[in-house]
A and B are shown apart, each in its own frame.
Chain A
Amino acid sequence: MIEVRGLTKRYGDRTAVDGLSFTAPPGQVTGFLGPNGAGKSTTMRMIVGLDTPTSGTALVNGKPYARHRAPLQELGVLLEARAVHPGRSALNHLMALAYTHGVPRRRVEEVIDLAGLHGVAHKRVGAFSLGMGQRLGIAAALLGDPAVVMLDEPVNGLDPEGVRWVRELLRGLAAEGRTVMLSSHLMSEMAQTADRLVVVGRGRLLAETTVDALVERSEDKGVRVATGEPARLRSLLAGPGVTVTSTGAERLVVSGLDTRRIGEVAAEHRVPLYELAAESVSLEEAFMQLTQDAVEYHSIDAGRAA
């Protein structure tokens, strides 16, 4: 379980994380979603104590990460930037971490196999591809058999097979009752892996929700209608909160009414319909709507800085 309360991080006059609060509960995959520069990595670094918050707290299984006697057993982390010496072999890298906790070599070999690295365990990490580096990072995160697994952009650089491996691994870990949190700026990836979503932009919480709820919540795009009598249907549907726009000779887009109601009205007045369909909002679009302001702010900001 990760509990973040009022977490804030300022660098000079720039606020990277701004009063962020959310919870990642056990047994579920929590997606940490936001555009680049939204403060995801900074938040994760504060959770594991690498950065000190300006204010607020981040608790891992009820305590600050650094107060645990065996931190790697509480939370395993993969940070976005590489955190490995290129001159060391994968095995030696993991052993160096394992020694700090008294994790036996048997467990190190277990995570090497789990990550599919047994063939390259003795190779220098500097020779690894991006995908193999990610696998090593994930192996390191699992080393202490942690109750919480927190991964920053885990599928970065992985091939499709690797992406699927990560997805199944994380689903499996959550099914075992562990807390899983992963960040991404790709909504599509989240849709397939996460149960819950924590959406951030400009360091602020935009939504703490489920994948389904996010889609429902987002502005609906209206109902597409094709009819032989558009003018008549228009006047029949007119009412408070209903807008009807014409998109072609026989085509209308109706918002404020659902497909069922439009169908009923049309049937009642014997208006023939050729097409009646709700325009669904994709998860990607829902995410874009939610983070639009945050993204715009950042591009203006970058322009000013340049």
Chain B
Amino acid sequence: MSASTVTTAAPRPAYRVTGRRVVRSEWSKFRSLRSSWITLGVAVLFLVVIGSVAAALYSPDGPLGGKDADSGAALTLALAGTNLAALAVGALGVLLSAGEYGTGMVRSTFAAVPGRLPVLWAKCAVYGPVAFVASTLGALLSFLFGSAALHGERIALSLGDAGVLRCLLGAGLYLGLVGVYGVTVGLLVRSTAGGIAILAGAVLVLPGLTGLLPSSLGDTVSRYLPSNAGQSVMTLHASGGSLVGPGAGMTALLVWAVLLLAGAACRLRRSDV
């Protein structure tokens, strides 16, 4: 008990909230929930299983085969699970932010960090890289398994081929950013179910809806939607006009992130908890 006597007798410790400490706190929050690891695991599993199965089922007579087969077909197959992985990664992002409103944890969080914005930055700084690393790993594994299955096929690619690493990293970056989108959407709508629905709609449904716009406008909008911009950073050779180049795609993804972050920041500053 001498320790506690010393504590009370000593001058008060110099506690202080810093950005780094808030990141540390968010990392500990992420780490200490089972649902984080399960959902992240599901995302990686989607990437690896769907990608490997797609490659294993590949036949030269199928839609991706033939004489004029796209030279990036092996990557298309390896990354076939990206959309589903995006759902899982995005949903986890929503859980990490909107989930706090559901449980009430947000009151503890913002009582500890009443400036609020550091929490937003910290959540993204923790989860973005985590989602990026896990997704890149998943994409890499999927590609390697797929390569084994495609061995000897005309479309087979190896890691060393030009652009392959860029595409795999691109998939990881895209999914990392989808994680950030999830966090921001969750803070904007403050409801787990609502946030996941919006995210799923934006990833899966929205690209189809651009067909309702006049075709020239619709095509332009469609190219810059997160899912299509994401496709462009992980596609080896953008064929036809449906995708922009990888640089433009990455820029579009970042612009979306900045817009969503700004929106979430405004909402955090202005609204009561």
Q: Is the CB of B112 within 8 A of A72?
A: yes
**Contact, CB under 8 Å: A140 / B108:** yes
Q: How far is the CB of B186 from chain A (nearest CB, A)?
A: 14
CB contacts (< 8 Å) of A140 on chain B: these are 108
Docked CA distance A51–B107 (Å)? 10
Instruction: Give Cα distance in the complex from A69 to B22, angstroms.
Output: 13
Q: Is A71 a contact partner of B105 (Cβ separation < 8 A)?
A: no
Whether B112 lies near A71 (C-beta < 8 A) is yes
B33 contacts the other chain (CB 8 A): yes
Give chain A nearest CB distance to B148 CB in angstroms: 38
Interface stretch of the complex, out of A83-91, A159-167, A218-226, A297-305: A83-91
Instruction: Provide the A131-165 mask, 1 if CB < 8 A to any CB of B, else 0.
Output: 00000000010001100000000000000000000
Given contacts A97-B25, A140-B108, contact A102 B16 (CB under 8 A): yes
A212-264 contacts to B, CB under 8 A, are none
Contact with B along A46-65 (1 / 0, CB 8 A): 00111110000000000001
A66 to B268, CA, bound (A): 14
Determine whether the beta carbon of A85 is less than 8 Å from that of B112.
no
CB pair A70–B32 under 8 Å, yes or no, is: no
* Inter-subunit contact A96/B25 (CB<8 Å): yes
CA distance A51 to B116 in the complex (A): 12
Report how far A45 CA is from B34 CA in the complex, Å. Answer: 30
Are B114 and A96 closer than 8 Å at their CB atoms? no
Residues of the B chain whose Cβ atoms lie less than 8 Å from the Cβ of A49 = 110-111, 114
Q: Within 8 Å of chain A (Cβ to Cβ): is B12? A: yes
Once A85-B99, A85-B105 are accepted as A-B contacts, the answer to whether A100 and B21 lie under 8 Å apart by CB is: yes
Which chain A positions have C-beta within 8 A of B3?
A: 106
Within 8 A of A (CB), among B1-32: 3-4, 7, 12-18, 21-22, 24-25, 28-29, 32
> Considering the chains assembled together, what is the distance between the CA atoms of A96 and B99 in angstroms?
16
Question: Inside 8 A of A209's CB, which chain B residues have their CB?
Answer: none
A26 to chain B, nearest CB (A): 14
> Does B105 lie within 8 Å of A95, measured CB to CB?
no
Q: Contact between A96 and B15 (Cβ–Cβ < 8 Å)?
A: no
A81 adjacent to B273 (CB under 8 Å): no
Evaluate contact between B17 and A83: CB separation under 8 angstroms. Answer: no
Contacts of B104 in A (CB 8 A): 81-84
| CB-defined contacts of B107 to chain A, threshold 8 Å | 50, 79, 81, 83
A70 touches B16 (CB 8 A): yes
A79 to B110, CA, bound (A): 12
B35 at the interface (CB under 8 A from A): yes
Residues in B neighbouring A48, C-beta threshold 8 A: 111, 114
Given contacts A48-B114, A85-B33, whether A110 and B105 have CB atoms under 8 Å apart is no
Q: Is the CB of B108 within 8 A of A101?
A: no
Proximity string of chain A (189-230) to chain B, C-beta cutoff 8 Å, 1 when within and 0 when not? 000000000000000000000000000000000000000000
Please measure, in the bound complex, the distance between the C-alpha atom of A84 and the C-alpha atom of B111, giving whole angstroms.
Answer: 12
- The reply to whether A86 and B25 contact each other, CB–CB distance below 8 Å, is no
Interface string of B104-146 (1 = CB under 8 A from A): 1111101111110000000000000000000000000000000
Q: Which residue of B lies closest to A86 (CB)?
A: B103
Quick one: which of B7, B28, B99 contacts A99, CB cutoff 8 A?
B28
Is residue A15 contacting chain B, with contact meaning CB distance below 8 A? no
- Asked if A70 and B15 sit within 8 Å, CB to CB, the answer is yes
Asked if A23 is an interface residue, CB under 8 A from chain B, the answer is: no
Min Cβ gap A152→B in Å is 11
A52 to B106, CA, bound (A): 16
Given A99-B24, A99-B28, A70–B4 Cβ distance below 8 Å?
no
Most chain A beta-carbon contacts within 10 A, residue among B13, B103, B107, B108: B108
**A109 and B60 alpha carbons, distance in the complex (Å):** 63
For residue A254, give the distance in angstroms from its CB to the closest CB of chain B.
53
Q: How far is the CA of A83 from the CA of B105 in the complex (A)?
A: 4
CB of A294 within 8 Å of the partner chain: no
B63 to A: closest C-beta gap in Å: 43
| Cβ-defined contact, B114 with A65, below 8 A | yes
Most buried by B among A72, A99, A144: A99
| Contact in complex: B35, A87 (CB < 8 Å) | yes
A84, B16: Cβ atoms under 8 Å?
Answer: no
A21 at the binding interface (Cβ < 8 Å): no
Enumerate chain A residues within 8 angstroms of B15, measured Cβ to Cβ: 70, 72-73, 101-103, 144
Given contacts A50-B273, A66-B114, contact A85 B100 (CB under 8 A): yes
Identify the 4 closest CB pairs spanning chains A and B, nearest first: A66-B114, A99-B25, A92-B32, A83-B107
Sample of 12 A–B contacts (CB below 8 Å): A45-B273, A66-B114, A69-B16, A86-B103, A95-B32, A96-B29, A99-B24, A99-B25, A100-B21, A100-B22, A101-B17, A102-B16
* A residues apposed to B, CB below 8 Å: 45, 48-52, 65-66, 69-73, 77, 79, 81-89, 92-93, 95-97, 99-103, 106-107, 110, 140, 144-145
